[in-house]
């Protein structure tokens, strides 16, 4: 007989709860969401890869002034045919030998002169026959297979400025990639603020819309009760019914907006199970620092857009230097060494060293036009940098004003909400007593709902404008400081 384990039911229940927890939305603070975005963002990953590639390129070009040493091994099969004319050499030998033999008897004592003459005579007679054995023309043919291992080195001595221009251009490209990466970081934070607090905004509006619909349900029930008691006419009931249905439609739209906002944040953070933000919307009660401080940091050399503009200007300047180098001569040293000297063909040197000078007299590309084009690009980059500074100043000033306006609106709406709540309370009493019309109560309820919505929207406008202001003024990292300031007011 089998008996069940007493803890099996408890284990199964805990397993179900664990499965539910795995599928539950992840509760993330803004800092945690920022860290997650840094890990999963494809845009940040692409910017990091671009920076890595640019830095590797710049590092690879640092040694352009050094020699290029290469080794090679080649196997060569060849045949060489030679034809040598020996007629002149035979005549010269015959004349020289005859003169030698004629003077030879005088070199010996008189008693031996007759013997020497007989010997030289016989040699002289035999000499033409001996020389006739040597052909007038000698044919030579050689066929061989050789292995040629050698090392070759080429070192630039003067490039006309091309090497420094290329290196400076690569460094400018790396700096441009760094600026783009920093800009991508700022942009990703702005997008996160929009999505993270956008979901908070949508959730708060959904709560407000639900409360408004529920309140109109209550008003409608009261109106029907008053109608049954004969206090109000049926027209007021119908009027309240229309208002309730409008509140229901607003609620359905709020639900859709909340689903869209939740989906956007989940996709941004690559969280399939969804995300539950835990950091509420907020507004800082105190005003911002003076605008001049934000403008000063906005146009500082460290600002990503300013860095990018400066790097683009340096890159264009390198293009001008490179175009100038094409009009100048180039000098280089070279050398080669043959490691198989014993098995070389006759025309191969054992080693060779030398200096070279090269200058292009006629090119198929107009070098003057190329230089003019490079200078035009440099001028364009300088104008773009000046225009970028103006644009940043405009964006910073506009974002500053938006932040301050949203903050003031949020604070002013506190008093509006209190007045709207009191106005609604009075009209609810008047409606129950039959003294106020349905339209008066509806207007009072809508006024309170509008004040709640505007207050929540003002808080959202504040955080989004604040993140844009900090990004434009190169203060993106200080967003967390505003989030933790003691004058923070949460919403709703």
Domain segments of the chain: what residues?
24-62+160-326+363-491, 69-83+137-158+329-359, 87-134
Out of 233-237, 313-317, 424-428, give the one with best mean pLDDT: 313-317
Q: What is the pLDDT at residue 446?
A: 82
Contacts of 256 (CB under 8 A, 6+ apart): none
For residue 134, give the H/E element and its range: none
Q: What is the pLDDT at residue 355?
A: 93
What are the backbone dihedrals phi and psi of residue 448, each rounded to the nearest 5 degrees, phi first? Answer: -65, -45
Query: Residue 492 burial by CB count (10 A; 0-12/13-18/19+): exposed, middle or buried?
Result: middle
Q: Reduce the DSSP state of residue 486 to 3 states and report it.
A: coil
The whole-angstrom separation of Cα 444 and Cα 420 is 7
The whole-angstrom separation of Cα 310 and Cα 403 is 29
Q: What is the pLDDT at residue 30?
A: 95
Are 459 and 203 a contacting pair, CB within 8 Å?
no
Q: What is the pLDDT at residue 139?
A: 66
Contacts of 97 (CB under 8 A, 6+ apart): 127
Whether the pLDDT of residue 6 is over 60: the answer is no
Cβ atoms within 10 Å of 277's Cβ, excluding its own: 23
The string of pLDDT tens digits covering residues 132-156 is 666 666 666 767 777 888 899 999 9
Distance, C-alpha 133 to centroid of its chain: 85
Q: What is the pLDDT at residue 15?
A: 47
Calculate mean pLDDT across residues 169-183.
95
Whether the pLDDT of residue 19 is over 50: the answer is no
Q: What is the pLDDT at residue 123?
A: 64
The whole-angstrom separation of Cα 375 and Cα 373 is 5
The whole-angstrom separation of Cα 130 and Cα 48 is 89
Whether the pLDDT of residue 17 is over 60: the answer is no
Q: What is the pLDDT at residue 431?
A: 76
From the list 247, 250, 246, 222, the residue with the least C-alpha distance to 436 is 222
Which residue intervals of 229-303 are DSSP H helices? 234-268, 291-298
Q: Reduce the DSSP state of residue 25 to 3 states and report it.
A: coil
State both tokens at 241: 């019914």
Nearest 5°: the CA angle 235, 240, 242 is 95
Cβ atoms within 10 Å of 480's Cβ, excluding its own: 12
Are 315 and 172 a contacting pair, CB within 8 Å?
yes
Which residue did the predictor score with more confidence, 338 or 255?
A: 255
Q: What is the pLDDT at residue 108?
A: 62
Q: What is the pLDDT at residue 36?
A: 95
- DSSP 8-state class, residue 361: S
- DSSP 8-state class, residue 366: -
The string of pLDDT tens digits covering residues 432-480 is 777 777 778 888 888 888 888 999 999 999 999 999 999 999 998 999 9
- DSSP 8-state class, residue 279: S
The string of pLDDT tens digits covering residues 389-417 is 999 999 999 999 999 999 999 999 887 88
From the list 343, 448, 449, 459, the residue with the least C-alpha distance to 411 is 459
Q: What is the pLDDT at residue 290?
A: 95
- DSSP 8-state class, residue 289: P
β partners of residue 28: 277
The whole-angstrom separation of Cα 433 and Cα 156 is 101
Calculate mean pLDDT across residues 279-304.
93
How are beta strands 275-277 and 351-358 bridged, if at all? unpaired
Calculate mean pLDDT across residues 337-363.
83
The whole-angstrom separation of Cα 51 and Cα 283 is 36
From the list 199, 222, 211, the residue with the least C-alpha distance to 449 is 211
Calculate mean pLDDT across residues 71-87.
75
Whether the pLDDT of residue 383 is over 60: the answer is yes
Q: Does domain 24-62+160-326+363-491 have CATH number 1.10.1200.10?
A: no
What are the backbone dihedrals phi and psi of residue 152, each rounded to the nearest 5 degrees, phi first? Answer: -125, 140
The string of pLDDT tens digits covering residues 100-139 is 666 666 666 666 666 666 666 666 666 666 666 666 666 6
Q: Reduce the DSSP state of residue 487 to 3 states and report it.
A: coil
> Where on the phi/psi map is residue 19: left (φ > 0), alpha (ψ -120 to 50), or beta?
alpha
């Amino acid at each position: 007989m089998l008996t069940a384990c007493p803890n099996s039911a408890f284990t199964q229940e805990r397993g179900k709860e664990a499965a539910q927890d795995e599928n539950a939305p992840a509760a993330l603070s803004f800092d945690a969401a920022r860290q997650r975005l840094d890990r999963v963002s494809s845009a940040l990953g692409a910017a990091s890869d671009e920076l890595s590639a640019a830095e590797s390129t710049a590092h690879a070009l640092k040694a352009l002034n050094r020699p290029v040493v290469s080794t090679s091994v080649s196997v060569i099969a060849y045949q060489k045919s030679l034809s040598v004319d020996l007629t002149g050499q035979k005549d010269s030998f015959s004349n020289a030998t005859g003169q030698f033999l004629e003077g030879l008897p005088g070199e010996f004592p008189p008693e031996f002169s007759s013997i020497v003459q007989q010997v030289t005579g016989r040699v002289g007679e035999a000499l033409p026959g001996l020389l006739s054995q040597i052909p007038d023309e000698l044919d030579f043919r050689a066929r061989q297979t050789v292995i040629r291992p050698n090392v070759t080195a080429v070192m630039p001595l003067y490039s006309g400025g091309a090497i420094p221009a290329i290196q400076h251009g690569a460094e400018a490209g790396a700096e441009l990639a760094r600026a783009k990466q920093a800009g991508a970081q700022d942009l990703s934070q702005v997008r996160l603020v929009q999505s993270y607090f956008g979901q908070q905004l949508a959730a708060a509006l959904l709560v407000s819309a639900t409360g408004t619909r529920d309140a109109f349900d209550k008003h409608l029930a009261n109106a029907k009760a008053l109608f049954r008691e004969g206090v109000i006419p049926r027209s007021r009931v119908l009027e309240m019914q229309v208002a309730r249905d409008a509140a229901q439609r607003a609620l359905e739209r709020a639900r859709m907006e909340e689903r869209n906002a939740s989906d956007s944040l989940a996709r941004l953070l690559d969280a399939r199970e969804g995300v539950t933000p835990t950091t509420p919307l907020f507004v800082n009660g105190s005003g911002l620092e003076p605008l001049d401080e934000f403008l000063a940091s906005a146009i500082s050399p460290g600002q990503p857009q300013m860095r990018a503009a400066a790097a683009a200007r340096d890159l264009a300047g390198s293009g001008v230097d490179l175009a100038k180098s094409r009009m100048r001569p180039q000098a280089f040293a070279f050398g080669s060494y043959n490691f198989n000297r014993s098995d070389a063909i006759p025309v191969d040197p054992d080693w060779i060293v030398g200096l070279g000078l090269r200058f292009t007299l006629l090119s198929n590309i107009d070098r003057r036009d190329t230089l003019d084009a490079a200078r035009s690009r440099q001028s364009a980059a300088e104008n773009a940098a000046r225009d970028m500074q103006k644009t940043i100043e405009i964006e910073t000033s506009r974002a500053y004003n938006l932040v301050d306006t949203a903050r003031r609106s949020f604070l002013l709406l506190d008093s509006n909400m209190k007045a709207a709540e009191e106005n609604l309370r009075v009209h609810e009493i008047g409606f129950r007593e039959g003294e106020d019309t349905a339209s008066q109560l509806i207007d009072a309820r809508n006024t309170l709902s509008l004040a709640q919505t505007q207050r929540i929207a003002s808080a959202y406008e504040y955080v989004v404008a604040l993140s844009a202001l900090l990004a434009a003024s190169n203060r993106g990292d200080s967003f967390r400081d505003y989030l933790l300031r003691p004058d923070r007011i949460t919403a709703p």
